[in-house]
Amino acid sequence: MIDVAIVGATGYAGQELIRILLRHPKVKIKALVSQSSANKPVEEVFPYFGKMIDMSFTNMDVLNVADAADVVFLSLPHKAAMNVAGRLLENKLRVIDLSADFRLKDKSLYPTWYGVSHIEEDLLETAVYGLPEFYRARIKKANLVANPGCYPTSALLGTLPALAEGIVDPSDIVIDAKSGASGAGRVPSDALHFPECNESIKAYKVGSHQHTPEIEQELSAVAKQDVNMVFTPHLIPMNRGILSTIYLKLNKKMTTDEAVGFYRGYYRRECFVRVLKKGEFPQTKNVTGLNYCDIGVHVDEDSGRMIVISAIDNLVKGAAGQAIQNMNIMFGFKETMGLI
């Protein structure tokens, strides 16, 4: 059994962490930290949890969190996590950060993409990018895991195998991603106001989404060279789910059969990736509430393109579920524990 704290527990990712951890047989939730909701019972903030958890949010400081827990999930807004991670680590906690604050290795990217100078350069170096399918061994030993963003998880799981094995051109990658509205968080805004968002679809932050450098960093790391990538996010009128349609240029001829076979082989030992059969393609409803990434593959032989389509639940494999998968790895639990 391990003791767990969640800091910043009142957003959608925080809610999802609570939901999943309540069923985890090796976890005891010891603290739910929230400034805005301090001293409120959980069920007052989230009536969903009535009769399921008998705790209140707390305004606990770092030292008290450190006393209470073995591991802490930081589910704070971007830019807030870097202020507390260091002190938590000094106090011997292992930290799984769901924000972007430790995902980018190049600190110079933070001012550009997040409008903030990074204050914890050393931690940027030691933080491990928490995509288990590619960094499992390092996650196991990590004290600070930077849990991937939702779009990056979906984009990377679809793209990395082909890049890793050199079967596609790293300079010709198009990622067209579609996300449900919960990805934008719990703060009301014009764009997410129901009558504005419902019955409509749009692209947004075209050419400027903050997940772009994260995707590029990880694609380049695996390709062992700089990649050239276009990423376009879209807002879909549904609560949960990301579908990424990824267009890759094959380096040599390949049939759909071969491409599907390659992906199935590549991921055959992965517990949370499901590569569909030839002719089948994922839909987000099949991963709703689940930690799976579903992948479908098709080759367009005329144009020499491979189309990879991946689906995740943005709040599970794209956030809380993957964070718990990382926790399982860090603490030597079965990787699927609490997640199936």
Cα–Cα distance, 40 to 22 (Å, whole number): 19
Q: Which residue carries 């430790």 as its tokens? A: 102
Q: Which residue carries 């001829």 as its tokens? A: 253
Single-letter residue type at 264: R
Q: Is 57 exposed, middle or buried (0-12, 13-18, 19+ CB in 10 A)?
A: buried
According to CB under 8 A, which one of 102, 263, 266, 292 is a site residue for its own copies? 292
* Distance in Å, CB of 215 to its own copies, minimum: 13
Cα–Cα distance, 213 to 38 (Å, whole number): 35
* Distance in Å, CB of 290 to its own copies, minimum: 7
Hey, which residues between 209 and 228 contact its own copies (CB under 8 A)?
228
- Any bridge partners for residue 33, and if so which? 7, 58
Cα–Cα distance, 137 to 132 (Å, whole number): 8
According to CB under 8 A, which one of 122, 195, 269, 332 is a site residue for its own copies? 195
Distance from the Cα of residue 82 to its chain's centroid: 18
Task: Give the nearer residue to its own copies in terms of CB position, either 3 or 176.
Answer: 176
According to CB under 8 A, which one of 197, 219, 223, 260 is a site residue for its own copies? 197
Task: Give the nearer residue to its own copies in terms of CB position, either 64 or 232.
Answer: 232
Asked if residue 240 binds its own copies (CB under 8 A), the reply is: yes
Cα–Cα distance, 314 to 243 (Å, whole number): 9
Q: Which stretch binds its own copies (CB under 8 A): 127-135, 137-145, 151-159, 191-199?
A: 191-199
* Residue 50 near residue 43, CB atoms below 8 Å: yes
According to CB under 8 A, which one of 138, 169, 247, 261 is a site residue for its own copies? 247
Find, among 296, 328, 291, the residue nearest to 313 by Cα: 291
Asked if residue 255 binds its own copies (CB under 8 A), the reply is: no
Hey, which residues between 160 and 189 contact its own copies (CB under 8 A)?
171, 174, 176, 178, 180-182, 186-189
Task: Give the nearer residue to its own copies in terms of CB position, either 92 or 268.
Answer: 268
* Distance in Å, CB of 282 to its own copies, minimum: 7
Hey, which residues between 4 and 63 contact its own copies (CB under 8 A)?
12, 22-23, 47-48, 50-52
Hey, which residues between 305 and 324 contact its own copies (CB under 8 A)?
305, 307, 309, 311
Cα–Cα distance, 103 to 97 (Å, whole number): 9
What lies within 8 Å, CB to CB, of 310 at 6+ separation is 154, 155, 157, 158, 243, 244, 246, 282, 293, 294, 295, 296
Q: Which stretch binds its own copies (CB under 8 A): 32-40, 67-75, 120-128, 202-210?
A: 202-210
Provide the angle, in degrees to the nearest 10, between the axes of the packed helices 150-164 and 212-223: 20
Asked if residue 203 binds its own copies (CB under 8 A), the reply is: yes
Asked if residue 239 binds its own copies (CB under 8 A), the reply is: yes
Hey, which residues between 260 and 289 contact its own copies (CB under 8 A)?
271, 274, 276, 280-289
Task: Give the nearer residue to its own copies in terms of CB position, either 5 or 311.
Answer: 311
According to CB under 8 A, which one of 245, 251, 258, 331 is a site residue for its own copies? 245
Q: Which two tokens stand for residue 209?
A: 């989404």
Asked if residue 2 binds its own copies (CB under 8 A), the reply is: no
Catalytic residues: 150
Asked if residue 238 binds its own copies (CB under 8 A), the reply is: yes
Q: Which two tokens stand for residue 215?
A: 């995707």
